[in-house]
Structure 1
Amino acid sequence: MTLQNAADMVVDAARVTLTLGQGDGATEILRGIDLKVPGGESLALLGASGSGKSSLMAVLSGLERATGGSVRVAGMDFGALDEDSLARARRGRVGIVLQAFHLLPTMTALENVAVPMELAGIDDAFERGRAELAAVGLRHRTDHYPTQLSGGEQQRVAIARALGPRPQLLFADEPTGNLDAATGASVMDLLFERRAATGATLIVITHDPSLAARCDRVVELADGRIVAERRRAERVGAA
């Protein structure tokens, strides 16, 4: 994918820095990140623990404010927004799937998917929630609580919840970290399938090169910097 027009970019980050703490205790986490992600691309942020990949996800998703540089996501300048405006900007534009599922234990699978959409003002939230659960193979589990679901099923609910509002940008942070190899592979198959069906741009945060290799592009981080970048065609050619 070679789109370079700024209007085509779901993510347009320039010279992004992130420093936590102050004075002698300050720690530089991100050190001048430049990253553009065109619509429809699947991108892996690859790196060891402490490389800055999860911090970069937090900045790009609006969960953390950059210390310096600029971040535009789905046409919104995140740096120009106050906290309330930033929360509204994320809603419907950004979906997140995390390693630990983060389902509400007192809600059924359907409620976990539908209630966030309902709170966002989507009128047919429960109808859409049922459709999303059916799409991830959980039509028969809508009334089950998280404790009644396997780890793989819980992550499928999390995928349905993230994609229900049809976000332009979907983050998956170590999405198979709490799953065995076979279940993890199945969940990733589903994640890529649903991403393709909804047209979302996907950013996968991982330390696993084999998982990263499934994406259109791999961006490797170390010590808060981008140290390598390769596209699928280049990797195939190199093989």
Structure 2
Amino acid sequence: MVIRAADVRLTLGGATPVDILKGIDLHVAEGESVALLGASGSGKSSLMAVLAGLERATSGRVEVAGTDFGALDEDGLAIARRGRIGIVLQAFHLLPTMTALENVAVPMELAGHADAFARAAEELAAVGLSHRLHHYPAQLSGGEQQRVAIARALGTRPRIVFADEPTGNLDTATGARVMDMLFARRDATGATLMIITPDAALAQRCDRIVEMVDGRIAA
């Protein structure tokens, strides 16, 4: 199992705390693809944030890629993610002062890859952007920016890829192409994939569907 979550709880707020996650137990195998479904506010994004090390659980145990996230501080979590976890968000979060090539290559450099720029060019070519290497995010369409984000997430050959509604800002046709690319790149690298999506047809492409209701896994 590459992800192990045991009785994970997340409570936010001060004087009036709100229970976001209410005892999550979830194991995900190496190479498995999992879709997270649920209504808005069901806790999907919060669970993904906890499993990706972006949010710290209030209690319970989170072990990802053999590392106990509860034992790490913020710097430790950042190091644990580096090169091991790829994240694709609905908001692209590309650095506006960097070209597409630089946006993909810099995380590889931080992960210690000496051939970062050559590999970044290969990843961008794999998502059909070899002609846009030196364009800045503002010069790219929404679909192109999302493809850069996918190339960045997968460029370090992470063991785990988290995708939170990665096509939410895209039109239907572009979204379908982006998801085809995400699955193709995931298959090529053998990564574990966890994706949040409201699209039942897309969820059916995954090995397993996990439905969340009110901070709990319902099915």
The reply to whether TM is greater than 0.5 is: yes
Report the Cα distance in structure 1 between the residues aligned to 2:92 and 2:65, rounded to whole angstroms: 25
- Map 1:144-183 to 2 at 5 A: 144-183=135-174
**Corresponding position of 1:62:** 53
| 8 A Cα contact 1:11 1:37, kept in partner | yes
Percent of matched pairs sharing the same residue? 76
Q: Per-residue deviation at 1:106?
A: 1.1
Residue 104 of structure 1 aligns to a residue whose secondary structure is: coil
Residue 34 of structure 1 aligns to a residue whose secondary structure is: strand
- Amino acid aligned to 2:14: Q
- Amino acid aligned to 2:6: A
The total of aligned residue pairs comes to 219
**Corresponding position of 1:15:** 7
Report the Cα distance in structure 1 between the residues aligned to 2:75 and 2:170, rounded to whole angstroms: 35
- Map 1:130-149 to 2 at 5 A: 130-149=121-140
Report the Cα distance in structure 2 between the residues aligned to 1:182 and 1:47, rounded to whole angstroms: 23
Residue 98 of structure 2 aligns to a residue whose secondary structure is: coil
| 8 A Cα contact 2:21 2:43, kept in partner | yes
Match among 32, 35, 53 for residue 23 of structure 2: 32
Q: Per-residue deviation at 1:82?
A: 1.8
Answer yes or no: is 1:206 the counterpart of 2:197. yes
- Amino acid aligned to 1:145: Y
Alignment gaps of 5+ in structure 2:
none
The runs of at least 4 consecutive aligned structure 1 residues that moved more than 4 Å come to none
Answer yes or no: is 1:87 the counterpart of 2:96. no
Report the Cα distance in structure 2 between the residues aligned to 1:68 and 1:207, rounded to whole angstroms: 28
Alignment gaps of 5+ in structure 1:
1-8, 229-239
**TM-score, with normalisation over the residues of structure 2?**
0.98
Report the Cα distance in structure 2 between the residues aligned to 1:76 and 1:161, rounded to whole angstroms: 23
Match among 226, 229, 237 for residue 217 of structure 2: 226
Residue 107 of structure 1 aligns to a residue whose secondary structure is: coil
**Corresponding position of 1:235:** none
| 8 A Cα contact 1:46 1:53, kept in partner | yes
| 8 A Cα contact 1:151 1:178, kept in partner | yes
Residue 207 of structure 1 aligns to a residue whose secondary structure is: coil
Report the Cα distance in structure 2 between the residues aligned to 1:192 and 1:59, rounded to whole angstroms: 23
**Corresponding position of 1:234:** none
Answer yes or no: is 1:216 the counterpart of 2:218. no
| 8 A Cα contact 2:82 2:110, kept in partner | no
| 8 A Cα contact 2:84 2:157, kept in partner | yes
Question: What RMSD in Å do the two structures reach over aligned CA positions?
Answer: 0.9
- Amino acid aligned to 2:193: L
| 8 A Cα contact 2:8 2:25, kept in partner | yes
Residue 110 of structure 1 aligns to a residue whose secondary structure is: helix
Q: Per-residue deviation at 1:120?
A: 2.6
| 8 A Cα contact 2:159 2:192, kept in partner | yes
- Amino acid aligned to 2:39: A
- Amino acid aligned to 1:182: A
Report the Cα distance in structure 1 between the residues aligned to 2:126 and 2:20, rounded to whole angstroms: 38
- Amino acid aligned to 1:11: I
Match among 97, 107, 110 for residue 116 of structure 1: 107
Q: Per-residue deviation at 1:93?
A: 1.1
Match among 35, 44, 68 for residue 44 of structure 1: 35
Provide, for residues 20-78 of structure 1, a one-character-per-residue CA deviation record: whole Å limited to 9, x for no partner. 0134x100000000000000110001111100000000000000010111000001010
